Amino acid sequence: MSPIFLFAFVVIFVYYLLRDLMILRGGNKRKINLPLYLTINGITIVLLVSLFLHVRPPMPTRWLNQLLGPTGESIVGGYQREKSNH
């Protein structure tokens, strides 16, 4: 992944994270669903850390196949091909 894209993504993510934290503290009339907020930001943080550390999180291949059908199979096939030594 391009370092410029990664930097831009991190800056935008941190901006929205801080904005949402201010809303959660009561600085705005808008409401945020806390469990959804924590889930989305938690997954994004895990993916960002894995990008920085060059670690691939495990892929749930069975779930992906059931969820996406042929598209999921092609994604998993590309992932497994990239992961293998052949």
Residue span of the structural domain in which 72 resides: 58-86
Paired tokens of 23? 């809303």
Residues 74 and 42 in one domain: no
Do residues 5 and 44 share a domain? yes
Q: How many domains does the chain have?
A: 2
Q: Could you read off the pLDDT of 71-82 as tens digits, one per residue? A: 655 655 665 555
Q: What is the pLDDT of residue 42?
A: 83
Q: Return phi, psi of residue 43, to 5°.
A: -65, -45
- DSSP type of residue 84: S
Same domain, 50 and 76: no
Q: Are 40 and 19 members of one domain?
A: yes
Tell me the one-letter amino acid at 15.
Y
Model confidence over 22-75: pLDDT tens digits? Answer: 777 776 667 777 788 888 888 888 777 877 777 766 666 666 566 666 665 565
Contact in structure between 32 and 40 (CB atoms under 8 Å): no
Residue 5 has pLDDT above 70, yes or no: yes
Give yes or no: residues 29 and 71 share one domain: no
One domain for residues 48 and 76? no
